[in-house]
Amino acid sequence: MSHEKLTLEEREALRQQTLVKHYTANILTHWFNVAMWLFLLPTGLGILLGKIYPFVPEAWNNLMNQIFGGLAPLIHWHSIFGQVWFFVLIFNVLFGFRKYFIPFAAQRMFMDRDDWKWLMIRPFQMFGFKKNQELPPQDAYNGGQKLYSYLVVVGTVGIGVTGLILTYSEAIPTSLQWIIQWAMPLHFLAVGTTFAGVIIHVYMGAIMPEERQAFFSMFTGKVNGLYAYLHHRKWYERKMAEKAAWEDFYNRQLEAVGVETPAEGGLEAPPAPEPAGGD
């Protein structure tokens, strides 16, 4: 990392800065998602039975059955929660489309050269390789996070659609039975691969000390300047530029109405409307 270039004072000054990374809506959506996964994953595993899934211990099936009073209610609750989960997400996307989803997509769905370069280096560094290679500067989300968001978007849609098919399978005529038959492995595949991503996501977000800021930002919505500077330089710089532009604009507005420009360290300009990613 390129912190060598910073003096201790600079680091402290950066640390004092606060940047808004997540809106409350995004934070709530994230934790809603987490809660639903915490419900749906164990119940889903409890439904799986038969020779296809020898890796799920039968005791787990039985535990889930006992909690829910049988297999049928277990399946019912799983599909009810699944539908709540999926429809809330769809609702959020539809009603927050302009305000939240477009920025989310803009920030998270486009990979540039730096992202690919980052991907070629960072994973190796985690295991002590490529120590001396310089990481390219990253935007609000790094290449890994962007890849993960692909996975999450595709996985969520896949899980949701196949889940709905399985929930309303009795309405599907027998001649289209193959739809149900394909929905099952695809549901499983979508959950499994997304879950593999979740494992990495959880480790990187919650366990790796370097990403502690990111972890707390999922509660507060904010990160400090140093973290932003070190991990998301492009974003930091853009934000600073935006801030400066906003301050400039604001000051000129004040001048226009004849208000004196406040002295240094005085009244701060209100934060700029900031496009932020949701997670």
Partner 1 sequence: MTEEITREKWLLSRRQFLKGAALAGTGAALAKAGIFDLTPARAQGTTHFLPGPTADYQVYTMCEMCVWRCGVVAKVRNGVVEKLDGNPNHPHSLGNLCARGQSGLMMTYDPDRVLAPLMRVGERGSGRFRQATWDEALDFTAEQMLRIKDTYGPQAMVFSSTHNLSQPLFENLLNAYGSPNYGTQRSLCFNAMVTAHLLTYGIQEPARRYDGMKYIILTGRNLMEGISTSETRQLMEVISEGAHVVVLDPRFTKTAAKAGEWLPIKPGMDLAFHLALINVIVSENLYDRNFVNNYTVGFDELAESVKPYTPRWAAELTEIPEATIYRIAHEFAAAAPFAFAHPNWRTSNFVNSFQTERAVAVLNALIGICPEQGDCIFPEEDHVGLGSPPQPAYPRISAQRLDGVPWKYPLVPLKLGVFQEIRDNILTGQPYQARGWFFSRQNPIMSLPDQAKTIQAFEKLEFIVSVDIILNDSSWYADVILPEATYLERYDPVHAVGNRVFIRQPVVEPLGEARSALWIYRELGRRLGLQDFFQYVDEEDYIRQQIAPFGVTLEHLKQVGYFDVPREKKSGERIWDTPSGKVEIASETLRRAGFPAVPVWEAPPEPPAGRFYLLTGKVGQHTQFATQNNAYLTEVDYHTHDLWMHPLAAAERGIRDGDLVRVASDVGEVEITVWVTEGIRPDCVYMAPGFGHTSKGLKKAYGRGANASRVHVTYTDPVSGGQALTQTFVTVEKA
Partner 2 sequence: MAEKKRYAFVIDPARCIDCRACLVACRAEWNTPAGQTRIWVHSDGPQGVFPNLSQTFIPAQCHHCEDPWCVDACPTGATFKREDGLVLIDEEACIGCGLCVNACPYQARFRNTVTGKADKCSACFHRVEAGEMPACVATCIGGARLFGDLNDPESTVSRAIAGRAVYRPITNEVNTQPMTLYLSSPAAAAVQVSPQPREPVPAETFWHTVALPVVKAAVALAFGGQALAFIFQLFKGENEYEEA
| Among the listed residues 177, 245, 252, 262, the single contact to partner 2 using CB under 8 A | 177
Largest Cα–Cα distance in the chain?
79
x/- letters, 196..215, toward partner 2 (CB under 8 A): xx-xx--x---xxxx-xx--
Q: Which residues bind partner 1 (CB under 8 A)?
A: 58-59, 61-63, 65-73, 76-77
- Strand, coil or helix: what is 1? coil
Q: Give the nearest distance from C-beta 50 to partner 1 in angstroms.
A: 12
Contact 214, 12 (CB under 8 A): no
Closer residue to partner 2 (CB): 29 or 228: 228
Reading the block at residue 30, the tokens are: 């994230």
Measured from the Cβ of residue 153, the count of other Cβ atoms closer than 10 Å reads 16
Residue 159 binds partner 2 (CB under 8 A): no
| Among the listed residues 55, 264, 266, 273, the single contact to partner 2 using CB under 8 A | 55
Residue 13 binds partner 2 (CB under 8 A): no
Q: Give the nearest distance from C-beta 77 to partner 1 in angstroms.
A: 7
Residue 161 binds partner 2 (CB under 8 A): no
Question: DSSP letters of 217-274?
Answer: HHHHSEEEHHHHHHH-HHHHHHHHHHHHHHHHHHHHHHHHTTPPPPPTTSSPPPPPP-
Q: Taking CA 212 as the corner, what is the angle to CA 207 and CA 217, rounded to the nearest 5 degrees?
A: 120
Catalog residues that contact partner 2 under the rule CB under 8 A.
3, 15, 47-52, 55, 61, 70-72, 74-76, 126-128, 166, 169-174, 177-178, 180-182, 184-186, 188-189, 191-193, 195-197, 199-200, 203, 207-210, 212-213, 223-224, 226-227, 230-231
